């Protein structure tokens, strides 16, 4: 069982600071996903943990041992690369066994481990093929097999599904989740896809511009985003942010519609998820607007409404809902489902005590 | 109104075919005729047919076999030496070249010198009486070494050829080494594969195609060697530096044995064709495997 701790990590490439003073602890057996837009530093963070890049400052420990300046192979981690990085001149069996031969394990042990991994990943039929003769999904399994057989302290995945097509991605995602359950190993996983993050993670680390925006379970991130960035990054379609004014009466939508209780700090934005919005008659709505477009997705219907005061707002309802383009509609939502954000974009929480 | 695909193809390729026939076909036919005839500079337009006499004469000539042996030995030794040195240097210099790619320009400088100039230059440098190198060797170290004597001349031209063409191998291997995907090295480093094992089990196998090409090109270049040896030593003391190309040249222009010279070149052509044919077939077999 493995814990990984980052303390005050700093990383600089030339004159560009990627991280400054980043700290994070990953618990034993946990599936931690680093997620964020491209350029947020999530892959660099993984490579720092793997030892492929050196930190500029700070300390990395694995199971309490300081590995900040330890070579990658001495950290006891396995990594699955985005491009799979299989050795093209070796067969699948040789690829999987190579690291074990490097460790000079006994032959019988190597064979046993390779066969076990091959069975678990269902790659037995093509153990004697070269990577060139495999499909993307098969290569992915081989790369995972190569990581498993070393029985590492933890697994590092660097966007492992981004080169697969949509159907295969979902399938492999489920397999990785099952793998985590069966191995009970610590896994760190980098992705830019919030769906992968939500479905796989025990805990998600949302990164932006080299800073941790929020760490939490998928449920926490969805129900209690710490700031507007996380609020809009997690969830699809993304959360609506409506401009509000905080007056003596409370928080009001600019239209002067019913106020929310007075928060401790003045709120300037109100967030409401598309699935929390309901369609009502124009005069009953907290907001009114015209339907610009409705996207039918089978089970769901996404409705884009151009409102007078808050611009375009997205609503997600059941696929059975009926709306006409150009129709004037009212939108309403439960106050308990609203998120308030201050001028810095940080969430204001626990302050809406007085009843409306 | 439209032509069939077939005749369209024929019309479009006709100029190229005619061009090739004129430039390659005509000399080839002429070569075949001359190689089967008794011909001199005076009788170029009226060769006398003599059957396979020229071929018999060439194959019976010990000088031909000596020249063939010389070319073969020279080609094998120089190509292997150049590739081994080039590979070692490419790997050794890779950290420097990655940071300062312009250094490559300096390293490959010898390649831009014409081989004939190289031969002339060393003829001066190594000359028994006026050459600076033998002079200083004697004055400073008391060593009297005849670079161009019969027993040393092969070593000397071997070193000259290797010095000039190792940079070519270095260039090829440098590009091959740098084109190994970085993530493969990273995967290896996470696995604990380092140093000698990384080189022999991962990097070298990935560079194998380049190694084959480099050896092949250097072998051909070494086998047909002419100008640097010709300007340095000519046929050499006792014919000791007569490569196959020099043999053919001498037979043709010095001895006027045009038929024999062309017969020798036909034999060379047939041998080269055979080697290339086998190499190409094996190469293709590998690709489909």
Domains of chain A by residue range:
4-229, 241-348
Asked if residue A341 lies in contact with residue A327, where contact means CB atoms within 8 angstroms, the answer is: no
Contact between B87 and B211 under an 8 Å Cβ cutoff? The reply is yes
Q: In this complex, do B181 and A87 lie within 8 Å of one another by their Cβ atoms?
A: no
Q: What share of chain A is helix, strand, coil (3-state, %, to 5)?
A: 30, 35, 35
What is the structure's pLDDT at B90? 94
Nearest chain A CA: its distance from B79 CA (Å): 25
Residues B149 and B66 sit within 8 Å (Cβ to Cβ):
no
For A4-229, give the CATH class. alpha beta
According to DSSP, the β-strands at A300-307 and A311-318 are antiparallel
Number of neighbouring beta carbons within 10 Å of residue A154: 26
Among B209, B162, B159, B174, residue whose Cα is nearest residue B92: B174
How many angstroms separate the CA atoms of B261 and B61, rounded? 12
Q: How many alpha carbons fall within 13 Å on the CB side of residue A325?
A: 5
Helix (H, G, I), strand (E, B) or coil at A57: strand
- Residue whose C-alpha is closest to residue A78's, from B191, B8, B106: B191
Judge whether B157 and B241 are in contact, CB under 8 Å.
yes
Cis peptide upstream of residue A237 (ω within 30 degrees of 0): yes
Calpha distance A319→A330 (Å, rounded): 19
Cα–Cα distance, A82 to A196 (Å, whole number): 15
pTM: 0.80
Verify whether the Cβ–Cβ distance B190 to A79 is below 8 Å.
Answer: yes
Other C-beta atoms closer than 10 Å to the C-beta of A187 total 26
The continuous run of DSSP H or E covering B266 comes out as helix B258-288
- CA dist B86 and B111 (Å) reads 13
Block residue for tokens 């196959």:
B244
Q: How far is the alpha carbon of A73 from chain B, nearest alpha carbon, in Å?
A: 4
Q: Which residues contact B56 (CB under 8 A, 6 or more apart)?
A: none
Q: Any idea what DSSP says for residue B21?
A: I
Contact state of B186 with A89 under an 8 Å Cβ cutoff:
no
- Ranges in chain A, pLDDT < 70: 1, 254-259, 350-356
> How is the beta sheet containing A16-26 ordered, strand by strand?
A16-26, A4-13, A57-62, A65-66
Q: How many residues does chain B have?
A: 289
From residue A129, how far is each of A3, A90, A114, A330, B164 by CA, in Å? 37, 8, 15, 61, 42
- In degrees, rounded to 5, the angle at the alpha carbon of residue A258 between the alpha carbons of residues A252 and A262 is 50
Residues of chain A found within 8 Å of residue B203, distances taken between Cβ atoms: none
* Angle at B265 (CA atoms; ends B261, B271), nearest 5 degrees: 150
List, in order, residues 6 or more apart from A67 with CB less than 8 Å away: A51, A60, A61, A74, A75
| A268-278 confidence digits (pLDDT tens) | 888 999 999 99
Contacting residues of A for B192, CB less than 8 Å apart: 73-74, 99, 102-103
CA distance A52 to chain B (A): 7
Whole-number Å distance between alpha carbons of A304 and B82: 70
- Within 8 A of B196 by CB-CB distance, chain A residues are none
pLDDT of residue A250: 78
Nearest-by-CA chain B residue for A151? B191
* Beta carbons of B206 and A88 less than 8 Å apart: yes
How many angstroms separate the Cα of A195 from the Cα of each of A51, A83, A106, A240?
Answer: 28, 21, 42, 18
The H or E element that residue A203 is part of is strand A203-208
Contact (Cβ atoms closer than 8 angstroms) between residue A3 and residue A25? yes
The partner residues of A271 in beta bridges, in order of sequence, read A241, A339
Specify the pLDDT at position B289.
Answer: 40
- pLDDT for A353 equals 47
DSSP letter string over B192-258? T--HHHHIIIIIHHHHHHHHHHHHHHHHHHHHT--HHHHHHTTT-GGGTT--HHHHHHIIIIIS--H
Query: Are residues A72 and B197, on separate chains, in Cβ contact within 8 Å?
Result: no
Q: CB–CB of A85 and B183 under 8 A? A: yes
Q: Is-contact A259 A302, C-beta < 8 A?
A: no
Q: Is A30 helix (H, G, I), strand (E, B) or coil?
A: coil
Q: Which residues of A touch B208 (CB under 8 A)?
A: 89
| Interchain proximity B192–A102, CB inside 8 Å | yes
Q: Which two tokens stand for residue A72?
A: 């990658």
Dist. CA B151–CA B137, nearest whole Å: 18
Chain B residue numbers with beta carbons less than 8 Å from the beta carbon of A77 are: 190
Q: Which residues of B lie closer than 8 Å to A, measured between beta carbons?
A: 181, 183-184, 186-187, 189-194, 197, 201-202, 205-206, 208
Alpha helices per DSSP H over B100-191:
103-107, 115-125, 132-141, 153-178, 182-191
Model ipTM value: 0.80
A155 touches A187 (CB < 8 A): yes
Q: Where are the alpha helices (DSSP H) in chain A?
A: 42-50, 92-102, 107-121, 136-148, 166-183, 194-200, 218-223, 228-233
CATH topology assigned to domain A241-348:
OB fold (Dihydrolipoamide Acetyltransferase, E2P) (2.40.50)
Contact criterion met (CB < 8 Å) for A52 and B189: yes
Predicted pLDDT at B245: 92
| pLDDT at residue A356, rounded to an integer | 37
3-state SS assignment for residue B4: coil
Residue A151 region, left (φ>0) first, then alpha (ψ -120 to 50), else beta?
left
Which of A344, A165, A356, A181 is CA-nearest to residue A269?
A344
Q: Do A72 and B206 touch (CB under 8 A)?
A: no
- Chain B residue nearest residue A83, CA to CA: B183
Taking an 8 Å cut-off on Cβ atoms, the answer to whether B191 and A98 are in contact is yes
- CA torsion through residues B277, B278, B283, B288, sign: positive
Q: What is the pLDDT of residue B196?
A: 87
Contacting residues of A for B181, CB less than 8 Å apart: 83, 85
Nearest to B191 among A82, A88, A99 (CB): A99
The CATH-assigned architecture of domain B62-288 is: Orthogonal Bundle (1.10)
Contact B228, B123 (CB under 8 A): no
Give the whole-angstrom CA distance, residue A198 versus residue A235. 9
Residue A217 has a pLDDT of 95
Helix axes B204-223, B153-178, angle to 10 degrees: 140
pLDDT tens, residue order, chain B (289 aa): 567 888 888 899 999 999 998 899 888 888 889 999 888 888 888 888 888 888 998 999 999 999 999 999 999 999 999 999 999 999 999 999 999 989 999 998 998 999 999 999 999 999 888 889 988 998 899 888 888 888 889 999 999 999 999 999 999 999 999 999 999 999 999 888 888 888 999 999 999 999 999 999 999 899 989 999 999 988 888 888 899 999 999 998 888 888 889 999 999 888 888 888 888 888 765 554 4
Of all residues in chain B, the one with the smallest CA distance to A86 is: B184
Query: Which member of B184, B191, B208 has the closest CB to residue A73?
Result: B191
A interface residues, B as partner, C-beta within 8 Å:
50-52, 71-74, 77-79, 81-83, 85-89, 98-99, 102-103, 146, 150
CATH fold match for the domains A4-229 and A241-348: no
């Amino acid at each position: 069982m493995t814990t990984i701790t980052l303390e005050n990590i700093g990383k600089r490439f030339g004159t560009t600071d990627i991280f400054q003073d980043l700290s994070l602890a990953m618990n034993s057996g946990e599936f931690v996903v680093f997620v964020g837009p491209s350029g947020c530093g999530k892959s660099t963070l993984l490579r720092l943990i793997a030892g492929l890049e050196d930190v500029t400052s700070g300390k990395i420990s694995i199971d309490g041992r300081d590995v900040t300046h330890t070579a990658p192979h001495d950290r006891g981690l396995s990594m699955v690369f985005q491009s799979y990085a299989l050795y093209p001149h070796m067969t699948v069996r040789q690829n999987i066994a190579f690291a074990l031969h490097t460790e000079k394990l006994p032959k019988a042990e190597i064979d046993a481990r390779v066969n076990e991994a091959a069975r678990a990943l269902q790659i037995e039929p093509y153990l004697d093929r070269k990577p060139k003769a495999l499909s993307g999904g098969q290569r992915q399994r081989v790369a995972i097999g190569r990581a498993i057989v070393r029985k590492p302290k933890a697994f590092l995945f660097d966007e492992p599904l981004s080169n697969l097509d949509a159907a295969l991605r979902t399938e492999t995602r489920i397999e990785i989740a099952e793998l985590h359950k069966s191995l009970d190993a610590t896994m760190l996983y980098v992705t830019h896809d919030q769906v992968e993050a939500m479905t796989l993670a025990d805990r998600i680390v949302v990164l932006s511009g080299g800073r941790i925006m929020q760490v939490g379970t998928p449920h926490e991130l969805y129900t209690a985003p710490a700031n507007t960035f996380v609020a809009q990054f997690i969830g699809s379609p993304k959360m609506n942010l409506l401009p509000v004014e905080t007056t003596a009466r409370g928080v009001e939508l600019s239209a002067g519609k019913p106020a929310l209780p007075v928060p401790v700090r003045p709120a300037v934005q109100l967030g409401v998820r598309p699935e929390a919005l309901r369609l009502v008659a124009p005069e009953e709505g907290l907001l009114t607007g015209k339907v610009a477009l409705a996207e039918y997705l089978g089970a769901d219907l996404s409705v884009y409404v151009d409102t007078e005061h808050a611009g375009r707002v997205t609503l997600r309802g059941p696929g059975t809902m009926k709306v006409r383009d150009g129709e004037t509609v009212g939108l309403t939502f439960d106050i308990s489902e609203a998120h308030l954000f201050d001028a810095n974009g940080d969430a204001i929480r626990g302050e809406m005590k007085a009843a409306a | 109104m439209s032509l069939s695909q077939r005749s369209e193809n024929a019309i479009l390729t006709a100029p190229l075919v005619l061009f090739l026939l004129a430039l390659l076909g005509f000399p080839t036919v002429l070569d075949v005729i001359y190689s089967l005839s008794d011909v001199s500079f005076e009788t170029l337009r009226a060769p006398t047919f003599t059957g396979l006499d020229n071929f018999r004469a060439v194959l019976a000539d010990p000088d031909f076999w000596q020249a063939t042996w010389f070319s073969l030995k020279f080609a094998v030794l120089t190509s292997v030496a150049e590739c081994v040195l080039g590979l070692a240097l490419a790997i050794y210099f890779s950290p420097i070249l990655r940071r300062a790619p312009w250094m490559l320009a300096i390293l490959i400088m010898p390649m831009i010198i014409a081989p004939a100039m190289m031969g002339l230059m060393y003829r001066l440098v190594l000359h028994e009486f006026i050459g600076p190198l033998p002079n200083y060797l004697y004055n400073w170290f008391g060593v009297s070494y005849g670079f161009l004597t019969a027993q040393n001349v092969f070593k000397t031209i071997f070193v000259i050829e290797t010095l000039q063409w190792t940079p070519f191998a270095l260039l090829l291997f440098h590009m091959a080494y740098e084109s190994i995907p970085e993530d493969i090295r990273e995967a290896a480093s996470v696995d604990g594969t380092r140093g000698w094992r990384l080189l022999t089990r991962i990097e070298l196998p990935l560079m194998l195609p380049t190694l084959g090409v480099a050896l092949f090109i250097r072998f051909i270049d070494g086998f047909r060697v002419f100008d640097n040896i010709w300007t340095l030593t000519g046929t050499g003391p006792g014919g000791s530096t007569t490569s196959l190309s020099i043999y053919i040249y001498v037979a043709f222009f010095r001895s006027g044995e045009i038929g024999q010279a062309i017969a020798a070149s036909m034999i060379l052509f047939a041998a080269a064709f055979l080697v290339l044919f086998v190499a190409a077939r094996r190469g293709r077999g590998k690709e489909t495997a």
